[in-house]
């Protein structure tokens, strides 16, 4: 059974690139264009990992992360933050809140995203 990856990202172009790469690696990709929609999906489906942008409409990534980590059933789902926010304070905040990894959008390739996902899912 392919692992289900939820991508919460409002940039449709980036979403398309990530979806194409993950699908080619046999992941089942579910898309959410805002934080609220992403949270609704997580509550209703079994998700193996979440790729989470921080700057989102409806509910930002930090709010989504706080909601996930405060719910005993959802807190076990690994979260990789993908963001343009590259300040140490933002990265530290996301990791302290329970994110498993943090990627700065300008500094990674789709192949690197897959590597990070595989590393976390093997834990």
Residue 1: predicted pLDDT: 87
Domains and CATH numbers, the chain: 4-122 (3.40.50.2300)
Q: Is the pLDDT of residue 123 over 90?
A: no
pLDDT digits (tens, 9 = 90+) for 77-119: 999 999 988 889 999 999 999 999 999 988 889 999 999 999 9
> 39-47, long-range: CB within 8 Å, 24+ apart, which pairs?
39/64, 39/67, 39/68, 41/6, 42/6, 42/68, 42/74, 42/77, 43/74, 45/4, 45/6, 46/4, 47/4, 47/5, 47/6, 47/77
Q: Is the pLDDT of residue 10 over 80?
A: yes
Residue 31: predicted pLDDT: 98
pLDDT digits (tens, 9 = 90+) for 35-49: 999 999 999 999 999
> What is the pLDDT averaged over residues 54-68?
96
Alpha carbon distances (Å) from 29 to 10, 41, 66, 90, 123: 15, 12, 23, 26, 20
Residue 106: predicted pLDDT: 86
> What is the pLDDT averaged over residues 63-72?
97
Question: Across all residues in the chain, what is the average pLDDT?
Answer: 95
């Amino acid at each position: 059974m392919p692992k289900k990856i939820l991508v919460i990202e409002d940039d449709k172009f980036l979403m398309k690139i990530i979806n194409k790469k993950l699908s080619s690696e046999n992941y089942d990709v579910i898309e959410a264009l805002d934080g609220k929609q992403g949270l609704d999906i997580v509550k209703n489906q079994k998700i193996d990992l979440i790729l989470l942008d921080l700057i989102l409409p409806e509910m930002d990534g930090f709010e989504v992360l706080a909601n996930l980590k405060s719910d005993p059933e959802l807190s076990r789902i690994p979260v990789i933050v993908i963001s343009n926010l590259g300040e140490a304070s933002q990265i530290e905040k996301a990791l302290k809140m329970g994110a498993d990894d943090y990627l700065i959008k300008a500094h990674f390739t789709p192949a690197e995203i897959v590597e990070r996902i595989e590393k976390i899912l093997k834990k």
